[in-house]
Structure 1
Amino acid sequence: MKLGFPFVNHCYLRLIVISCSLLRLGSTSLFAQTKPSDVTPYERNTNQTATYAQIISWYQQLDRQYDQAKLVEVGKTDIGKPLHVFLLAADKQFSSRPNRVTLLINNGIHPGELEGIDACMMMARDLLKANKLPKNVLLAIVPVYNIDGALNRGVSRVNQNGPESYGFRGNARNLNLNRDFIKAEAENTKAFQVMYQSLKPQVFIDNHTSDGADYQHILTYFATQKDKLHPTVSSYMVKTFQAELDKTLTAKGFPPAPYVDSFSDTPDSGLIGYNDSPRYSTGYATLFNCFGFTLETHMWKDYPARVKASYAFDESVMQLCDRDAQTILANQKKANEAVSQQTSFPLSYKLDRTKTDSITFLGYSAAYKLSEVSGLKRLYYDRSKPFTKRIPYWNTFAVDAQVDKPRAYVIPQAWWEVITLLKRNGVKLQTLPKDTLMAVSAYYITDYKSGQRPYEGHYIHSGVKVRSETQQIQFYKGDYLILANQPTNRYIVETLEPQGVDSFFAWNFFDSTLDQKEYFSDYIFEDTAAELLKKDPSLRKKLDEKRASDKAFAENADAQLDFIYRQTPYYEKTHNRYPVYRLK
């Protein structure tokens, strides 16, 4: 039996099929072997969390002990360590199958938010030891995702109640990996995308710890934004899966609430649903009709309570996946087929504040008093005054911008970074067999805004506006054609349409097209411009109209020369021309 997990090289993508017999990490392990033990480091001291070496050693031990378990290296990370996924299958078949749900659980993307790491170590052991693996689920656990941050242990989360030490949010390049799922600059993300596309999960969990307001709930979570999912998947997730999940968690002693994000200082004013765009893990999963959950245990609850809550959440999701496996599989299949034929795609969403629901919230009364530090008003929560009440919940998002898909996109091979991303994320591309002149629709970027400060190493573009122009473009053998009839259509459209919130354009992949490469010398072009105006009355009319309507322009000689220059064949057609073209 062979398990195909492509590995990501630092420079290019290599696909390697690895024999499962090579994946049993025994004497060749990078980690020192410890005496087999049924007790995790956390269980020996509940105010401690396992180190990276202990985590991997633990899963290696389970791999050696049980035939239903497999620890697999899926690629490298920015710090040079391998990224692993731990696979659990009752039938010992470790690849995705059409009659079994794949549940992917990610841990330690922020290594200071680490309850999921310890909870999953125990859950994996308990399932194997009791021989209670779900028969309808392939369980895939990323033991620790941000290995770079996990190795950088300390006490950087000042508001967190334990454990004694833990990892750091940024990775070795100081990237927040939960903002990297589109641009994929980290080696971790490249490896994750390869793994994700191999597993093709139907359900996804990302384990986190929240900060912010104080309240009674040990756990909160947000689900994939319901209005972004295909209706079949969304309806089932909200009405059946989440309804049952919330009931189960409450019965286990962990009544949940939505992730706490409010309009005002305190949550009792009402909560806002989370708009998880594709830069985030759950937003990325949404592009492939996978519904997901970001679990947020509460930072100020004691560490054992948070670990127990994480265990309960992950276990409950797994059990529901097992129970409803055939429905979940059928829903994703239907969504994939529909997306292949879908003609119009949303590019951004905004909160609809006219539509309000309500939830039961377990909070603490909040008030204000004078700060001993500043002498000014400060917020505090009074735990001696708990409350239970219904509060507003705004969780409806309306489409803010959308686009009709073309028949296909054409992208020159020169943009290899984007092409690599498309291939890695399961998009099928065809190469042109010969040089070809095509009539295409070309976008010109007419306006955009960029951040004033870098965000994850980028000055993200927003408010992008375009105009479209039909042109004859020369393409060359080896350039790429991307048909928009694929289950990956959402990924294709939302990354390639420049107006998309997390498009490749937004993340600066095409910024070189915004630079003008050729210019003119004023004193020479003056005579050429005058001659052009004499020969072309329509150009003269455009110039006069512009001067009449724009006083600053009328008083700027250079601007007028540039205006004329841009109307001539001398002006480069590639300036501001977006280099991904649409075929109607």
Structure 2
Amino acid sequence: MNKYYILLLLALPHFLHAQYTWPEELIITPEKTNFEKTSTHKEVMDFLQSIQKLSKEVKVISIGKSLEGKDIPLAILSKSGIATAEEARKASAFVIYIQGNIHAGEVEGKETAMMLMRDILLGDKHYLLDNQVILFAPIYNTDSNDKMEKGRRPSQEDSPMEIGIRENSQGLDLNRDGVKQEALETQALFTHVINQWDPQVFVDLHTTNGTWHAYSLTWAPSYHYAGEVATYQYTNQVMLPALTETIRKKYGLRLGPYGDYSLREGWPVKNFYTYNHHPRYLINQFSLRNRMAILSEAFAHERFYQRIHSTRAFVVEILEYTNEHANEIYQVNKKAEENAIKLVKEQAGKAKKGVRFKMVSHEKLQHFITYDYTGYKKQDGTTAWLRTGNIVEYNDVNYFGQFEPEVETTVPSGYIIPAAFASIAEHLKKMGATVMQLDRSATYIGEAFTIEKFTKAERKFEGHFMATAEGRYTAASRKFKKGDYVVTLEQPLANLIFYILEPQSDDGLITWNFFDAYLEKQGVNNKLVEYPVFKYYKK
């Protein structure tokens, strides 16, 4: 018996999570309040300062300030003492960026980030720093986090009791700002994280607005459309399935792809739809940047502590996976970048890529779990559906989680932007693109786009009347002057530049009204007008 107990005690560390007694200052607000409250900005900042005093392997910096003057903190975790992006580049370090609270009513990521920092720096997850530098931005939407009230998200049933609002202090949805970049937070993120640190993987932590499935958490990759397919394939076909199976076995949680269904299509569920492909969503832009990204959506209808648990399990296993497969992920991303440049070098003027896309289904979901519905006939003869408390499982559900081009156009060698449109060139630079200026006049051969129809939405979206240009390209030769801007596509962000500069793009700069003033001054609503950005194939 003594021998048996000795063996049992020796085995315990291998299958029990280590328990720690944390310093009081590292106990977060949900833990202190029986998960009735979420952390304020000050409480997050206090936590970060406290843990920085207790560990030499974390450095907390501010990447910028909100409209109300609050710091947007970034915690840099590194076993090797890396504290700057330059040091990470010199060390060829693998960098992963994890962001919470982009929508300040979706607070699970904020709390999860602090819990994991505690586990990694002072607990049993220290090995997760062996092969990676981890960047945590626990409270990205700082201002709106503290605008707490009850009833903000009815689907969460006041769990926690009070939460912040979705938009930032400028009234902008930070997860629709990836192209136009009007928010101070977005500008800080691109300047001080995305462009500087160039994370190989980006994880964005959300909670659904109220979608009724029965998964503890759903996920989505950075969708492939105009980008290189390799990063999407690895994330969607290798990493996410592996994580889903691991979490089922280790935690007993069921995860699945992100989406929603419509009861207008009847019941039982036949189709499950993801969200769209636009790079305005930060996750999706990473596909165009030859990097991987993962959207995490906790299930709104679980309790606060359950949502933290599923989010924490997901992020832990992501970090386990990236720690083990860092070199493999890096090589996939590197190859995607090389292929983007190679296509321009070898196929400019020949290859075509999509600029407008439609959602399609090439996959059927098996063992799809959801809450059941029961129907009844209304007096007008229509059928209404009421949700029951029963969880059911369906097979062969069409999953609309892929995108196919509706409009394609030729990939050029690059673009010429007249000097008068310096704001466009500067915007490209903000997004990380390399932009040069002509030091002498030069003639370029390519195509000019004539706008034949220019339409704008009747209702505002994120402060914009979204625009659409239709027309045609014709072969042309143009002479440009000293000071005009040249944007070659022989650079890592070739796909992103292509997507936002193409006039027919469904989420480009025309979409977001960057050219409205010029086009309307030229009379685009009454006559044909040439798009001022020239697509060139050769000099």
Whether TM exceeds 0.5 here: the answer is: yes
C-alpha separation in 1, matches of 2:73 and 2:456? 36
Q: Does the aligned pair in 2 maintain the 1:120–1:143 contact within 8 Å?
A: yes
1:540 aligns to what? none
Partner-residue secondary structure (3-state), 2:285: helix
Say whether 1:42 aligns with 2:49.
no
Say whether 1:56 aligns with 2:62.
no
1:297 aligns to what? 298
Q: Does the aligned pair in 2 maintain the 1:276–1:282 contact within 8 Å?
A: no
CA offsets per residue over residues 437-463 of structure 1, 9 Å max, x none? 655532221113321101101111236
1:581 aligns to what? 534
Partner-residue secondary structure (3-state), 1:90: coil
Unmatched 5+ stretches in structure 1: 1-34, 520-558, 567-574
Give, in angstroms, the shift of residue 321 of structure 1. 0.4
1:347 aligns to what? 355
Partner-residue secondary structure (3-state), 2:472: strand
C-alpha separation in 1, matches of 2:444 and 2:235? 44
Q: Does the aligned pair in 2 maintain the 1:71–1:85 contact within 8 Å?
A: yes
Matches within 5 A, 1:6-405: 37-45=25-33, 46-94=35-83, 95=85, 96-97=88-89, 99-130=92-123, 131-155=126-150, 156-161=152-157, 162-194=159-191, 195-226=193-224, 229-251=227-249, 252-265=251-264, 268-342=269-343, 343=347, 344=351, 345-353=353-361, 355-369=362-376, 378-383=384-389, 385-392=390-397, 393-405=399-411
Letter in 2 for 1:48: K
CA offsets per residue over residues 282-339 of structure 1, 9 Å max, x none? 1111111122121111111111000111111111111100111111000101000000
**Which residue, out of 474, 481, 500, partners 1:468?**
474
Aligned in 2, Cα 1:470/1:226: closer, same or farther, shift over 3 Å?
A: closer
CA offsets per residue over residues 467-508 of structure 1, 9 Å max, x none? 435253442x32211111111101110011111111111110
C-alpha separation in 2, matches of 1:376 and 1:151? 44
Letter in 2 for 1:261: D
Aligned in 2, Cα 1:452/1:114: closer, same or farther, shift over 3 Å?
A: same
C-alpha separation in 1, matches of 2:335 and 2:505? 25
1:544 aligns to what? none
C-alpha separation in 2, matches of 1:421 and 1:429? 10
C-alpha separation in 2, matches of 1:316 and 1:41? 24
Greater mean alpha carbon deviation, residues 80-89 or residues 256-265: 256-265
Partner-residue secondary structure (3-state), 1:442: strand
Letter in 1 for 2:260: D
C-alpha separation in 1, matches of 2:396 and 2:523? 60
Instruction: Please give the TM-score of this superposition, normalised by the length of structure 2.
Output: 0.85
2:3 aligns to what? none
C-alpha separation in 2, matches of 1:237 and 1:376? 42
Q: Does the aligned pair in 1 maintain the 2:128–2:323 contact within 8 Å?
A: no
Q: Does the aligned pair in 1 maintain the 2:225–2:354 contact within 8 Å?
A: no
Aligned in 2, Cα 1:298/1:348: closer, same or farther, shift over 3 Å?
A: same
Letter in 2 for 1:211: N
Give, in angstroms, the shift of residue 255 of structure 1. 0.7
1:541 aligns to what? none
Letter in 2 for 1:43: E
CA offsets per residue over residues 73-126 of structure 1, 9 Å max, x none? 112323332222111112121333475432111111110011000111111111
Aligned in 2, Cα 1:430/1:215: closer, same or farther, shift over 3 Å?
A: closer
C-alpha separation in 1, matches of 2:68 and 2:373? 44
Q: Percent identity?
A: 25
Q: Does the aligned pair in 1 maintain the 2:443–2:478 contact within 8 Å?
A: yes
Partner-residue secondary structure (3-state), 2:212: coil
C-alpha separation in 1, matches of 2:178 and 2:314? 24
Greater mean alpha carbon deviation, residues 97-106 or residues 501-510: 97-106
C-alpha separation in 1, matches of 2:62 and 2:299? 32
Aligned in 2, Cα 1:328/1:285: closer, same or farther, shift over 3 Å?
A: same
Aligned in 2, Cα 1:511/1:273: closer, same or farther, shift over 3 Å?
A: same
Q: Does the aligned pair in 2 maintain the 1:440–1:473 contact within 8 Å?
A: no
C-alpha separation in 2, matches of 1:497 and 1:408? 11
C-alpha separation in 2, matches of 1:467 and 1:233? 31
C-alpha separation in 2, matches of 1:42 and 1:65? 21
How many residues end up aligned between the 2 structures? Answer: 493
Letter in 1 for 2:229: P
Q: Does the aligned pair in 2 maintain the 1:352–1:397 contact within 8 Å?
A: yes
C-alpha separation in 2, matches of 1:376 and 1:504? 43
Aligned in 2, Cα 1:91/1:474: closer, same or farther, shift over 3 Å?
A: closer
Give, in angstroms, the shift of residue 204 of structure 1. 1.2
Partner-residue secondary structure (3-state), 1:173: coil
Letter in 2 for 1:83: I
| Structure of higher CA gyration radius | 1
C-alpha separation in 2, matches of 1:232 and 1:474? 37
Q: Does the aligned pair in 2 maintain the 1:100–1:326 contact within 8 Å?
A: no
C-alpha separation in 1, matches of 2:37 and 2:447? 58
CA offsets per residue over residues 39-81 of structure 1, 9 Å max, x none? 1111111121100111122112222221110111112323332
Letter in 2 for 1:152: K
Q: Does the aligned pair in 2 maintain the 1:272–1:395 contact within 8 Å?
A: yes
Unmatched 5+ stretches in structure 2: 1-22
C-alpha separation in 1, matches of 2:401 and 2:226? 12
Aligned in 2, Cα 1:510/1:73: closer, same or farther, shift over 3 Å?
A: same
Q: Does the aligned pair in 2 maintain the 1:352–1:398 contact within 8 Å?
A: yes
Partner-residue secondary structure (3-state), 2:458: coil
Give, in angstroms, the shift of residue 154 of structure 1. 1.6
Aligned in 2, Cα 1:139/1:74: closer, same or farther, shift over 3 Å?
A: same
Letter in 2 for 1:348: R
Give, in angstroms, the shift of residue 516 of structure 1. 4.1
Aligned in 2, Cα 1:502/1:267: closer, same or farther, shift over 3 Å?
A: farther
Instruction: Please give the TM-score of this superposition, normalised by the length of structure 1.
Output: 0.79
Greater mean alpha carbon deviation, residues 277-286 or residues 57-66: 57-66
Give, in angstroms, the shift of residue 349 of structure 1. 2.0
Matches within 5 A, 1:399-478: 399-436=405-442, 441-462=447-468, 464-468=470-474, 470-475=476-481, 477-478=482-483
C-alpha separation in 2, matches of 1:464 and 1:80? 42
Greater mean alpha carbon deviation, residues 274-283 or residues 79-88: 79-88
Letter in 2 for 1:357: K
CA offsets per residue over residues 115-140 of structure 1, 9 Å max, x none? 00011111111111123333112111
